[in-house]
Structure 1
Amino acid sequence: MADLVQYEQRADGVVTLTLDDPKTRNALTGSTMVDELLAAFARIERDPTVRVLVIAAAGKVFSSGGNVNDMQRQIGPDVGGTALRQEYRHGIQRLPLALHALEVPTIAAVNGPAIGAGCDLACMCDVRIAAEEASFAESFVKLGIVPGDGGAWFLPRLIGMARAAEMSFTGDPIDARTAAEWGLVSRVVPAAELLPAAHALAGRIAVNSPDAVRLTKRLLRESQHSRLDTLLELSAAYQSLAHKTPAHAEAVQDFVARRAARKV
């Protein structure tokens, strides 16, 4: 069986994971997709040479979300409510926990429709770049279900409660331009420029101190639920670590040398 997630690492430490399941339009459930993504995340966490992760997709759809064929099984009499709860807890709900906890910055390169759980997968990343053909739909209500993968946590933090409610209650898609206006994506580019733009941004991140970038990401995460005084204490602790890294020492020495050269 072919892998549903393709793993590629560049010399600059940028890893690209490509969703590649054309028969389901990159559905996240009803296959090994989640397990393969989790294995890739674990591999990234173990590899100190990785500096940035880009999540992309093959084909014209970023992800169709949940596999409707698998939903037919779930509504059958052989699957009870308790068993379904455990399926979510030990299935797709592992994905937001692992991706949100990943130390390296993450970029979603959204090439086309990101539907339901596919929309939420993009929202789990730190940054989103969209092709002009991209669209986003928090479409669970269209199938009579709720966001079971953490979308109700991620989406309001990105676009605000009112707009998240509009998307979630109607299930209607928004296009790439609207997503940019609402702050869901950082930029919109022509399809041919999507991966180059994502890799260019990843490269701009990758040139910085990996320790400082990872600690900064952790501070941003903690700031979402911490008091200011608590975050300041954590910032002081992280800063004490950052000051002792070789990258910081090298950056300070380079700055001093350049300033001295300008005075000559």
Structure 2
Amino acid sequence: MSQDAPLILTEKRGHIAILTLNRPEAMNALGAPGDGDQVAAACEAINDDQDIRCVILTGAGRAFSAGGDVKAMKAREGAFGGNGVKVRDGYRKNIHRIVRAIYGLEVPSIAAVNGAAIGLGCDVACMTDIRIGADTAKFGVTFLKLGLIPGDGGAWLMPRTIGMSRAAELLFTGDVIDAAKAAEWGLISKAVPADTLMDEALALATRIAAQPPHALRMAKSLLKHGTTASYDTLMEMSAAAQAIAHHTEDHMEGVDAILEKRAPVFKGA
């Protein structure tokens, strides 16, 4: 797997950041040394940039990501090299950094799944908030076919994404499903023609990026915590976040826009 080019490219279009997995010759396989650091650095930069309101994650070439690099597994190198302790650390310090960084994005994130999203690649897509798939995309949780288990948090995330029964079916069979079935199951929001995928993702990101940025980040945080926090805990978090939102200029802009019957212009103030 080539180490010459960076794994991830970042482009900024207005209030939208586009992250592209950039290893097309290897179908954007993951797990090389430093992959976690690169993804974490890109995501941390986005979190620190208050001008960014939405992120699109996609893949270069014909795949979104084929997942863990099988050639590296065969050679027992990179994140898959050494004894059991070293392999564990390779997951915790490298592969887990990839999924934790994407899951930890503070702004809404969209996966524009342009091709195969297999194993770790499928789980990476599911770490985003919203997924749109090209009609040519394929999805699979194929760890068992390699004699492995989901080592990247997929066993926690997948049932929360599509429900326990369908998550179990995907994992236990190792089946690869097409974009139409992925949309039917709720793995993606919809399947679109491949040549319109980025246009669709950008249109959705533009609608999201029109929202007040501080409230948008807090809303995402509440939505995520709502999957694990108790009702009472989330109610307390909601009250505190709402108190902050009430004291922003964007709140007043939203109120004025409704009263004046015009579109609001949120500035992050």
TM-score when scaled to structure 2? 0.92
Over the residues paired in the alignment, what is the CA RMSD in angstroms? 1.4
Q: Deviations over 1:174-205 (max 9, x none)?
A: 11000000011001100011000001000000
Between the aligned partners of 2:27 and 2:141, the Cα distance in structure 1 is 17
Give runs of aligned pairs for residues 187-202 of structure 1, distance below 5 A: 187-202=190-205
Q: 2:88 aligns with which of 76, 85, 109?
A: 85
Give runs of aligned pairs for residues 18-37 of structure 1, distance below 5 A: 18-37=20-39
Q: 2:231 aligns with which of 211, 228, 231?
A: 228
Paired residue total: 256
Matched, 1:128 2:131: yes
For 1:39, the equivalent position in structure 2 comes to 41
For 1:245, the equivalent position in structure 2 comes to 248
Give ranges in structure 1 of 5+ residues lacking alignment: 260-264
Query: Does structure 1 conserve the Cα–Cα contact (< 8 Å) formed by 2:59 and 2:113?
Result: yes
Q: Secondary structure at the match of 2:232?
A: helix
Between the aligned partners of 2:24 and 2:218, the Cα distance in structure 1 is 37
Q: Secondary structure at the match of 1:55?
A: strand
Amino acid at match of 1:43: A
Q: Deviations over 1:114-171 (max 9, x none)?
A: 0100000001000000000001000000100011111111111011001101100111
Between the aligned partners of 2:116 and 2:55, the Cα distance in structure 1 is 21
Q: Larger deviation: 32-41 or 148-157?
A: 32-41
For 1:146, the equivalent position in structure 2 comes to 149
- CA shift for structure 1 position 82: 1.1
- CA shift for structure 1 position 32: 4.0
Query: Does structure 2 conserve the Cα–Cα contact (< 8 Å) formed by 1:109 and 1:128?
Result: yes
Between the aligned partners of 2:225 and 2:63, the Cα distance in structure 1 is 33
Between the aligned partners of 2:257 and 2:32, the Cα distance in structure 1 is 53
Q: 2:57 aligns with which of 37, 45, 55?
A: 55
Amino acid at match of 1:72: K
Between the aligned partners of 2:214 and 2:162, the Cα distance in structure 1 is 29
TM-score when scaled to structure 1? 0.93
Larger radius of gyration: 1
Between the aligned partners of 2:115 and 2:261, the Cα distance in structure 1 is 46
Matched, 1:101 2:104: yes
For 1:74, the equivalent position in structure 2 comes to 76
Give ranges in structure 2 of 5+ residues lacking alignment: 263-269
After TM superposition, the runs of 4+ consecutive aligned structure 1 residues lying more than 4 A away are none
For 2:218, the equivalent position in structure 1 comes to 215
Q: Deviations over 1:4-43 (max 9, x none)?
A: 21110002x1000111212211001125433221111011
Q: Deviations over 1:223-256 (max 9, x none)?
A: 1112212211111110000111111111112222
Between the aligned partners of 2:174 and 2:33, the Cα distance in structure 1 is 24
Query: Does structure 1 conserve the Cα–Cα contact (< 8 Å) formed by 2:96 and 2:152?
Result: yes
Matched, 1:5 2:8: yes
Identity %: 48
Amino acid at match of 1:120: D
Between the aligned partners of 1:64 and 1:122, the Cα distance in structure 2 is 11
Between the aligned partners of 2:105 and 2:51, the Cα distance in structure 1 is 14
